[in-house]
Amino acid sequence: MEYKILELDTHELVLLAYDEDFQACVAVHSCALGPALGGIRMKVYKDSSEMVADALRLSEGMSYKNAISGLTFGGGKVAVSASHWTKDIAEKLATVLNYVNEELEVYYIGAPDMNTDNDCMKDILDAGGGYCVWDPSGGDCSVATAYGVFNSLVALSSFQGKFDKDFTVNIEGLGKVGKELLKLCSEEGWDVCVTDLDEELAFSLAGYYGAAYAKPEDLKYLEGVYSPCALGGTIDKDFVECSKANAVCGSANNQLSNIDIGTLLGLYNKLYIPDFVASAGGVIAIGVGIGEGLENGVGLDNPTTKERVTFIRKQASAMLLAQTTKMDTRNAQLIATKAAKEIIENGK
């Protein structure tokens, strides 16, 4: 394994790890509040620059998510460029995580993320790595993530008469979180429309839950709440100017194409619950699980976890109220980011 450290003022550590058939980036944004905690995600990147950029953005978002959630963890992320999980990847990640924590003494804890799960974390532990979260009960933190988004949607549904028609949630992406969110929204009795790149999956789930279906390129322009639960960066100038959606609330990370889009959303009277507020349920579940020794797992069966994830509803309500108070609070992303930075800077 070869390592290359990228010197960036914005992050405490950016490490490239690679050999002839493996490439990963470990990005630790901040350890001011404690060890960096963030997911290990796997996808095929077109090159190392794209992989590093993804890790940088996501690790920064994790710092803010952990801070705003009241967790004593910093923010980090591992991006692995691969099409599918193997035991070989697990062994190499075990080596990399040990190197980061023990040799570099930059403390990072990995967790399930895009295309990785609890079993993947167990593979890393079995390979000799000791710096990732594995729930022996087999719990899935994506359930808590979806529950946090659902609570944010509850706050939206009752906010100041914004929705004078039936409340409609348009879910983009039916992975672990999107599928669970679809279930919760259907049980609530809301109208739901879904899409996914896997059209067969989307049709099947739509039929099972009595939801509507839209093509991926069309869904975010529909009336109601646009709920991105796949990749980020989908909220751009075109969306703000052309979409009939009157609110955005989903689990995808880094939903805005740039920070100024937050202001544009406000100018067009589109409400927005920042992703690191709405999607904090999963990391809350993991943080609570770590604090309790994972004895009660990382699912919503843990009463402490459920109580703290439910609190996201109040945070979402505060974000919504701020956006409708005066013009300088229209950019919800800036408001939430500023609050998180203050927590990090104060060290508590």
pLDDT in tens, 316-344: 999 999 888 866 667 888 889 999 999 99
Q: Is 77 a catalytic residue?
A: yes
- In this structure, the number of other CB atoms found within 10 A of the CB of residue 187 comes to 10
CATH at 202: 3.40.50.720
Give mean pLDDT, residues 72-80: 97
Please tell me the distance from the alpha carbon of residue 163 to that of residue 66, in angstroms, as a whole number: 31
> What is the band of 291 on the pLDDT scale with cuts at 50, 70, 90?
confident
In the set 4, 43, 46, 77, the catalytic residue is 77
Please tell me the distance from the alpha carbon of residue 55 to that of residue 59, in angstroms, as a whole number: 6
Give mean pLDDT, residues 91-111: 97
pLDDT at residue 165, as a whole number: 60
Which residues make Cβ contacts (< 8 Å) with residue 289, sequence separation at least 6? Answer: 133, 135, 139, 296, 297, 298, 302, 305
More confident residue, 169 or 163: 169
Residues 240 and 338 both lie in one domain? yes
pLDDT at residue 130, as a whole number: 86
Q: Is residue 299 part of a domain?
A: no
Residues 235 and 164 both lie in one domain? yes
Give pLDDT tens digits for 115-162: 999 999 999 999 998 899 888 877 788 999 999 999 999 999 988 665
Please tell me the distance from the alpha carbon of residue 121 to that of residue 129, in angstroms, as a whole number: 9
Residues 27 and 104 both lie in one domain? yes
Q: Is residue 271 part of a domain?
A: yes
Please tell me the distance from the alpha carbon of residue 260 to that of residue 235, in angstroms, as a whole number: 11
Q: Is residue 47 part of a domain?
A: yes
Q: Which residues of 19-36 are buried (b: 16+ CB within 10 A; e: fewer)?
A: eeebbbbbbbbbbbbbbb
pLDDT at residue 348, as a whole number: 57
CATH at 25: 3.40.50.10860
What are the backbone dihedrals phi and psi of residue 3, each rounded to the nearest 5 degrees, phi first?
A: -130, 145
Which residues make Cβ contacts (< 8 Å) with residue 163, sequence separation at least 6? Answer: 156, 157, 246
Number of domains in the chain: 2
Give pLDDT tens digits for 190-223: 999 999 999 999 999 999 999 999 999 999 999 9
Residues 158 and 37 both lie in one domain? no
Q: Is residue 267 part of a domain?
A: yes
> What is the band of 110 on the pLDDT scale with cuts at 50, 70, 90?
very high
Residues 202 and 322 both lie in one domain? yes
- Average pLDDT of the chain is 92
Whole domain around residue 68: which residue ranges?
2-126
Please tell me the distance from the alpha carbon of residue 26 to that of residue 74, in angstroms, as a whole number: 14
Pairing assessment for the beta strands 191-195 and 212-213 based on DSSP bridges:
parallel
Q: Final residue of a domain: which of 126, 157, 174?
A: 126
Q: Is residue 53 part of a domain?
A: yes
Which residues make Cβ contacts (< 8 Å) with residue 26, sequence separation at least 6? Answer: 13, 14, 15, 17, 55, 76, 77, 78, 96, 97, 100, 108
Residues 153 and 79 both lie in one domain? no
Please tell me the distance from the alpha carbon of residue 298 to that of residue 220, in angstroms, as a whole number: 31
More confident residue, 57 or 163: 57
pLDDT at residue 324, as a whole number: 84
Query: Does the structure show a pLDDT above 80 at 19?
Result: yes
Q: Is residue 340 part of a domain?
A: yes
Residues 83 and 193 both lie in one domain? no
- High-pLDDT (> 90) share of the chain, %: 78
Give mean pLDDT, residues 38-51: 96
pLDDT at residue 294, as a whole number: 62
Q: Is residue 71 part of a domain?
A: yes
Q: Is residue 85 part of a domain?
A: yes
CA atoms within 13 A on the CB side of 228: 26
What are the backbone dihedrals phi and psi of residue 203, each rounded to the nearest 5 degrees, phi first?
A: -60, -45
Residues 188 and 237 both lie in one domain? yes
